[in-house]
Amino acid sequence: MNAGDWAEYSVTLTVNPPFINKVRLSVEAVQGATVTLNVTSYYTSGRTVSEAYNCDISTGLNVAYGYLIAPGLEKGDPIYSGATITVNETTTKTVTGSQRQVNLVKDTRDLPLDAPRFERYYDKATGILVEQYGQTMMGYMDQTLTATSLWSPGYPIWLVLGTGIMLAAAAAILISILRRGTLPLGRSRTPTPKKLSKSARAENPR
């Protein structure tokens, strides 16, 4: 993760009105384990609110609503130094069109009934949040990463398969046309001279 990197999320809230429908993160600076992050929330009314955070991903200090954890964590690792919350499992998810290894983090602590509860998926290689859903004090929330500069977007599998099928069909049609024609594959045809009749040879002596 470097200065200039960014990530955008769609947000779905069950509260009425849902007020926030998009969030954008912008990395302003990176120094060791400290990431300076700008978080911009987009409201359905058209209003935007930006907040700056100096996030320490080693200690979990000021980590901007859980948008970052340390990269490269494995199952059972604490998400921050000394944290009781650990990585539950590492799995693979399609994120912005690319297959990514992600770490699932569930908050399984014994919390009051009205306390927020979340399940979060973090990209293993970068530590950035890719999806979170759960219960807040205001209702249920689902937040999903929709675009980022941290990796190249992939292509949907249906597009890859469809393109391959079309190319294979086009090649088969071309081969069929060539085989039905008078030109053998890879050869050029030399015109065959016409034979002259006896009368024509008499009229056009060589």
Average pLDDT of the chain, as a whole number: 80
Q: Quick one: how far is CA 206 from the chain centroid?
A: 77
Contact between residue 96 and residue 147 where contact means Cβ atoms under 8 Å apart: yes
> pLDDT tens-digit profile of 109-167?
555 555 557 899 999 999 999 999 887 666 788 999 999 999 988 644 444 444 456 66
What does residue 164 show for φ and ψ, rounded to 5 degrees? -65, -40
Distances 130 to 9, 73, 178, 186 between C-alpha atoms, Å: 8, 15, 51, 52
- Indicate the burial class of 55 (C-beta count within 10 angstroms; 0-12, 13-18, 19 or more): buried
> pLDDT tens-digit profile of 22-41?
999 999 999 999 999 999 99
Contact between residue 119 and residue 106 where contact means Cβ atoms under 8 Å apart: yes
pTM value? 0.71
**Domain ranges (residues) in the chain:** 6-148, 154-184
Q: According to DSSP H, which parts of 1-89 are helical?
A: none
